[in-house]
Every structure is written in structure tokens, then in C-alpha cells.
A and B are shown apart, each in its own frame.
Chain A
Amino acid sequence: GAVVSQHPSRVICKSGTSVKIECRSLDFQATTMFWYRQFPKKSLMLMATSNEGSKATYEQGVEKDKFLINHASLTLSTLTVTSAHPEDSSFYICSADRPKSGSSYEQYFGPGTRLTVT
């Protein structure tokens, strides 16, 4: 099946620093990827839709200057948490759309990245 990877799987950083998380589709090309955030024992909340070659589309309430998304190639999207603060600590999950027959897609999820800001 399709595989989506994320790197790193865990990261601890100091408050005020920036952290970059990578999301890669390993065996298919994805023009669209999604970034989600999940707090402990909570559901996934969509942060933004990442489109290859164009600007990301952010959900309401998500600061685009704080969560920088770059989808530079058909297999890689990055999320950079800038000037991280403890409240940014969370589990970040990406997904990638894999084309199916016709114009339909199927989303494949990465394993997630645990960010802890101290």
C-alpha cells in the first residue's frame, strides 16, 4: 500500500526556536497534502491544505505566519513551526492524496510527529 513518512517522529525544542517537520509520499506523487494537529486524547484538527507549487490554504484560526508550509515537490511537504512556544506542543500528522481511478483520491496518513516545546 501507499506509504507516507514523517520526519522527525519526535522532537523537543526550546521555546523561541523553529522546528521543521517533513512529510514525504514514498511511492506516489501527491499534489495535495494535509497537515493536522492533535492534542492528547482529542481528535485531529485540519490545519492547512498544502498544494504543490502554490501557497497553502489555512483553516480558520490557524496562523499562517506561525505555521509555514512549503510543498516544494510532488513528494515532499514541510511544516515549520516558527518561534515555538509550549502551547505549540502537540502531535502533528500529515496526509497525502493519492490519485485513484477517475478523479477520485484516497488519503494516506503519516505516522505523526510529537513536538514538545520546553
Chain B
Amino acid sequence: SQQGEEDPQALSIQEGENATMNCSYKTSINNLQWYRQNSGRGLVHLILIRSNEREKHSGRLRVTLDTSKKSSSLLITASRAADTASYFCASNFGNEKLTFGTGTRLTIIP
């Protein structure tokens, strides 16, 4: 399976702290994307990082990509209660199809 692995599977932190999630994948990618999913809802696209990029920022989000280790991380700074959700990485393996990681369930404790 090409599905990526994410860790941790679940993460609980206090509001205001930073949250870091990691994603590992198995084969070469064109790009890697991060999505958020609130419980029972669809997916919201957060950020895309291309295979030739190493780091990307968007607001309180910071994504890194290490193609040599086939891994990516998503950092959410100054977490808020509204950040409580599941976070998935997803990647393209040379075509339009996305393969999703296993996901991290993030809980922000007010």
C-alpha cells in the first residue's frame, strides 16, 4: 500500500501550545498536501508543499518536507479550540489521485 503513516494517531494539548504532526510516505511524490477534517465533515485543504520545497508557511501553519526521509511535518502554533479536528497528509504519486495518510486526531483542551 502506498498509504502514508501519520503519527501520533492522537494528540491532546492545552490551548496556546504548539501541535506537531508527522507524515511518512513510501514512494516519490510530486507534492504533499495537508487537510483538516472536523468530525463528520468534509475535508478542508490547508497547505500544499511541492517536492522541490523544504518548508512552507501559511498563517499559524508551518509545513516541512524531507524527501530524503520521505517525511513531512505540520506544525500548528498557538493552538486554539477551533483547531480540534483530524489532520491528514495526502500525496500525488505522479497522477491526479490522492493517497491519504492514516490521520492524526488533534484535541485542543481549553
> Which parts of A74-118 form the interface with B (CB within 8 Å)?
91, 93, 95, 97, 105-112, 114
What distance in Å separates the Cβ of A73 from its nearest Cβ neighbour in chain B? Answer: 19
Provide the main secondary structure of the chain A interface. strand
Contact of A97 among B3, B88, B96, B101 (CB under 8 A): B96
- Contact flag A46-B101 (CB < 8 Å), given A93-B42, A109-B43: no
Q: Is the CB of A110 within 8 A of B42?
A: yes
- Contact flag A93-B43 (CB < 8 Å), given A43-B102, A46-B99, A49-B97: yes
Q: Is the CB of A43 within 8 A of B42?
A: no
Q: How large is the interface on B (under 10, 10 to 19, 20 to 34, 35 or more residues)?
A: 10 to 19
> Which parts of B75-110 form the interface with A (CB within 8 Å)?
88, 96-103, 105
B41 proximal to A (CB < 8 A)? yes
- Chain B residues whose CB sits within 8 angstroms of the CB of A67 once the complex forms: none
Q: Is the CB of B98 within 8 A of A107?
A: yes
Q: Is the CB of B40 within 8 A of A43?
A: no
Contact of B42 among A42, A106, A112 (CB under 8 A): A112
- Contact flag A114-B40 (CB < 8 Å), given A43-B102, A43-B103, A49-B97: yes
User: Residues on A close to B: CB < 8 A?
Assistant: 6, 32, 34, 41-46, 49, 91, 93, 95, 97, 105-112, 114
